Structure 1
């Protein structure tokens, strides 16, 4: 049996934010979500999150994330309050009433260390079980270990001593093997000694590392890539970890047959799914629950968020959010699809077109300079330049329905709620306010008047 505990109580004052540090985002997920995600390949009996600063926000965020992801397959989250933040040992002491009599192992993770791979966690747990350790700690050899506690071991990787950086002598600081802050304890062994922790250090904090001297055996496991254990204390650290995560994500997709033109100018959340033969042009950003099918070409200069793009779609200098685009359609340049727009197959959504909550049938063209909001269009509809659905009356939004084969002339306004039948032709410059049946021509404009010899009077001086 394995219980995990996530340390997520701190404010993170160096972030210069009212938001708890663990709720800052990295690649489309909060830091603490990423830590939980790293445990998804081990069998977990209980999941506890130790919260403190603005705990209600942390709880709300994690509960919402759990409801929208496969995280629901795991045991429900349990929240443990740490009203005062007096160190890692003090945080784990708060678990004593919650894990009383628990016979298994406790995996301890930090909510601000978001780059841990699931494979690393599995390796740590495997070593812990194989050697039946009282404790197993994750370590790394850093080029610059300043700020990290040092780990001293024998030739069998059995831990002899862990000393916090601030408490190290100059000689001890020459040891580059550091404590990553990730632990696996046999809980019955830890439970016995936790109440006896002392705050005998300069910071007057209770260090979880002080338990090592009272447990045996304690073994260290080195992480292969030290970047996995980098913690986040400020915005610079957040930017650094973002670069590392982006490199991981892009390497993954390049190996999977995706073309990234100028990868350094592209960002991709690791919640995004791409198929082989997708091409991502420079200055393109893919976020959230986005998927892009084979042979589609995205960018340059595009943003796609929480959207599904079909096969052989092109998107040029455009923004698409919370929308669906079917195969063989062309979007842009400078189009904006939002609010659950759905574009059929073989459509063209062209220059400076905005669609909001609009359902567009197959082989429909909206080539330029139009706004269609709260509209449903059939197949083979042609929308002329400058067409507007006037969907808002100042209080409520109203629907526009346009039948298949209908052609809307340039600079027309369709005042919703309104329905146009199939194979309707709307003359250019019309303001249509009434329902139109099938197979009609609609002319809704004033007759042109020409007055020869007329000109504006000169203003009086």
Structure 2
């Protein structure tokens, strides 16, 4: 794919979406459709990309600024006057890459694959085509432009409204994806005219102009017709989501992952899951997640940008930007917040939150506890209701809890503070000073009794009644 570039058409509003966002930013499995198209270009090793923006262009540009994998230039189509007009906006980009071949495609085609792009490009070069059109075969081609061939070349593309009865019977259709010789495309763009009722410049008109100029137009027919799928409405978007959701689940099944139920299960395309792991209902696995073997994930768990080891159980857990080592048992109703590391053989029970902390091997945090900004050693025991008090209203501070410490129920550890090796804190203590190794820290007032207090109070209530 050396000496290639791409122009991605992403200016459309998507009126039927009824959204404040451009259509290309509508999401399928947690990623905008434009992201799928850019990832396809990256996988195909297209060297440079220009995105034509239009409706709410700043939103598209903001998304592109977060795209880490390959830089993309942008140009603005301030007035939408057709696909040919959109490509005209990239004229300067094309002139800078005049010695290349350019891929032109839409930003809302998430099912287009790198394999199709590469195969079409190889045919484009082998046949010495001026243009190569990516096509597909549909059982019902209604609404699509028909590909009329002359041998292995394309003689013309006929829109349905202009097709004869014989031409309408043709099942090969135009996908809207093209490889052009860049210099040739620039020449054809200069010849385009808005000779239609809408007064628009159509990119498809370059095909007729190319043939009239005596140059060859080829057609690469993709085996999978899904490459044409896009979304023009919320219903279309739902159907694309569902189709991709199930295709990803089936792929993981083939790799040895068990799904007890697929209800509510959503998995990002880039997720990696090891063999013999079980995914239970309601589980959402978002981007940049790696899960090991023999795990049980769910029900009702959400994981994002995290790594999970082998033999881990996550029951009703939300985990973000963290690492969970092997042989860990967490849940239910646990929140693992970013920058946390949960080491092997840790048990975390119900209603626990861990944030920006390291939890050492074999530690137990059974219930109703907050561990934030803390470094916790091995085999530490947390009683119920422990809180690391890590924020003084201005700054965050860290707690350090050494190996085999015992933190009593309802202990407040006011950071910065250290609890030493094998040290104890008494239940109900508020610890504000370091606790030495092997010591017991008691920080609570002495219990007092007031004889007869309850009897007097109850007597007062009876008089009121």
TM-score range, shorter chain: over 0.9
Note the C-alpha offset of 1:204.
1.9
Match of 1:323 in 2: 322
SS at structure 1 position matched to 2:173: strand
TM-score when normalising by structure 1: 0.93
Q: What is the Cα deviation at residue 247 of structure 1? A: 2.5
CA distance in 1, matches of 2:223, 2:351: 50
Counterpart selection for 1:40 from 39, 42, 53:
42
- Give CA-to-partner distance per residue, 1:151-197, whole Å, 9 cap, x none: 3223x242222233455577754444321110111222222221121
Distance 1:165 1:259 in 2: 46
What residue number does 2:6 align with?
Answer: 4
| Aligned mates of 2:232, 2:164 — CA distance in 1 | 24
Q: Distance in 1 between matches of 2:286 and 2:35?
A: 16
451-460 vs 387-396, which moves further: 451-460
Distance 1:311 1:171, change over 3 A: same
Residues 414 and 265 (structure 1 numbering): CA distance in 2 closer, same or farther, change over 3 Å? same
Task: Mark the runs of 5 or more structure 1 residues left unpaired by the alignment.
Answer: none
203-212 vs 22-31, which moves further: 22-31
- Distance (Å, rounded) in 1 between the aligned partners of 2:275 and 2:264: 20
- Answer yes or no: is 1:386 the counterpart of 2:393: no
Distance in 2 of aligned mates of 1:169 and 1:394: 75
Equivalent positions of 1:292-331 (< 5 A) are 292-331=291-330
1:210 maps to 205
C-alpha distance in 1 between matches for 2:47 and 2:283: 41
User: Which secondary structure state, in structure 2, belongs to the residue aligned with residue 98 of structure 1?
Assistant: helix
For residues 315-339 of structure 1, give each alpha carbon's deviation from its aligned partner in whole angstroms, at most 9, with x where no partner exists: 1121111111111111112211112
Stretches of structure 2 lacking an aligned partner (at least 5 in a row): none
1:52-201 residue pairs with structure 2 within 5 A? 52-66=54-68, 71-72=69-70, 76-100=71-95, 102-154=98-150, 156-165=151-160, 173-201=168-196
User: 1:448-459 residue pairs with structure 2 within 5 A?
Assistant: 448-455=447-454, 456=457, 457-459=459-461
Aligned length: 453
Higher mean C-alpha displacement, 444-453 vs 16-25: 444-453
1:45/1:408 CA distance change after superposition, 3 Å: closer
Which SS does the other structure have where 2:94 is aligned? coil
Q: Tell me how large the CA RMSD over aligned residues is.
A: 2.0
In structure 2, C-alpha distance between the alignment counterparts of 1:174 and 1:200, rounded to whole Å: 26
Matches within 5 A, 1:386-405: 386-405=385-404
Asked whether 1:246 is paired with 2:245, we answer: yes
* Cα deviation, residue 233, structure 1: 1.5
**CA positional deviation for 1:240:** 1.4
The list of structure 1 runs, each at least 4 consecutive aligned residues, that deviate by more than 4 angstroms after superposition, is 165-174
Q: TM-score with structure 2 length normalisation?
A: 0.92
**Residue 252 of structure 1, CA deviation:** 2.1
